[in-house]
Amino acid sequence: MTEKPAIVLRHTGSPDPVVLREVCAGAEEEGVPTRVEQVRDADVLTLAHAAALESPLETGIGIDGAGGVAVHHASLPQDDPVHQVEAGSPRPDLRIAGRTAARIVKVLPLS
């Protein structure tokens, strides 16, 4: 059985459950599933870009140990994410990150 295409979300260690939940909820509200993977420690841009390269939808999200979030597309340079949210940002900003990733997949305006 093959997995459904999904946005790959990579995180290190034990991410804040609120951060993880809000980012995934943002994508799911747009109708795009996420696949969550735990990996070794890396910076948020590396996590997001590697996730985008792995995703069949060419879109990835990274969450670093501090709770920073980056949204990336496989066609972009690693140091140039589509969207980034600083650690400690409010819940709506986290949800927007997930929504942004989903809107990239659906080829919809980001704002």
Distance CA 109, CA 86 (A): 22
Query: Closest Cα to residue 12, out of 48, 63, 49?
Result: 63
Token readout for 50 is: 């590697």
User: What does the pLDDT look like over 13-68, one tens digit per residue?
Assistant: 888 999 999 999 999 999 999 999 999 889 999 999 999 999 999 999 999 999 99
Half-sphere exposure of residue 56, counting CA atoms within 13 Å on the CB side? Answer: 9
pTM for the predicted model, two decimal places: 0.95
**Cβ atoms < 10 Å from Cβ of 31:** 9
User: What does the pLDDT look like over 55-106, one tens digit per residue?
Assistant: 999 999 999 999 999 999 999 999 999 999 999 999 999 999 999 999 999 9
